[in-house]
Structure 1
Amino acid sequence: MKELLRTNDPVRLSFLTSLLRDADIRVVQMDAHTSIVEGSIGAIQRRLMVADEDYAPARRLLLDAGEDMPDA
């Protein structure tokens, strides 16, 4: 699996997850439980992960949607 991005913004995570799923790209949110356990103070960001073969199309989709993506 490859990491698309990290964020603490739950609205952004929800939107991006929906966008990817609508494009039939399976996405997994990592560190959600850890983030909750630490009290949601923002110390641990959640990661959006996709399968290696879905990374390029997922990245392109998010860039086309206007997301500011970290360098690959």
Structure 2
Amino acid sequence: MIELVRTNDAVVISFVESLMRDAGIACFVADQNMSVLEGSIGLLQKRVMVDADKADVARRILKDAGIENEIRQK
């Protein structure tokens, strides 16, 4: 899996998950439970991961949705 997005913005994470689900692309939110360690203050960023073979399609979907600034560079 490759990292598609890294952010501590819960709205962006939810939006990306929704876009991927609608496109039929499986994704995984890594570091989701790290807030337990950090005390829920939002310092540690969460990562949305997708299969490498779906990365180009996933990036195109984010670009079409207008959030290309959230895409992690290759």
Could you tell me how far apart the structure 2 residues matched to 1:18 and 1:40 are? 23
Offset at 1:39?
Answer: 1.3
Correspondence for 1:42: 42
Give the TM-score, by structure 1 length: 0.90
Give the TM-score, by structure 2 length: 0.87
Q: How many residues align?
A: 72
Identity of aligned residues (%): 47
Could you tell me how far apart the structure 2 residues matched to 1:24 and 1:59 are? 14
In the alignment, structure 1 segments of 5+ residues that lack a partner are none
Could you tell me how far apart the structure 2 residues matched to 1:9 and 1:36 are? 16
Could you tell me how far apart the structure 1 residues matched to 2:10 and 2:40 are? 11
Offset at 1:15?
Answer: 1.1
Mapping of 1:18-57 within 5 angstroms? Answer: 18-57=18-57
Instruction: Answer 1 or 2: which has greater helix percent.
Output: 2
Q: RMSD of the alignment, in Å?
A: 1.2
Could you tell me how far apart the structure 2 residues matched to 1:34 and 1:52 are? 24
In the alignment, structure 2 segments of 5+ residues that lack a partner are none
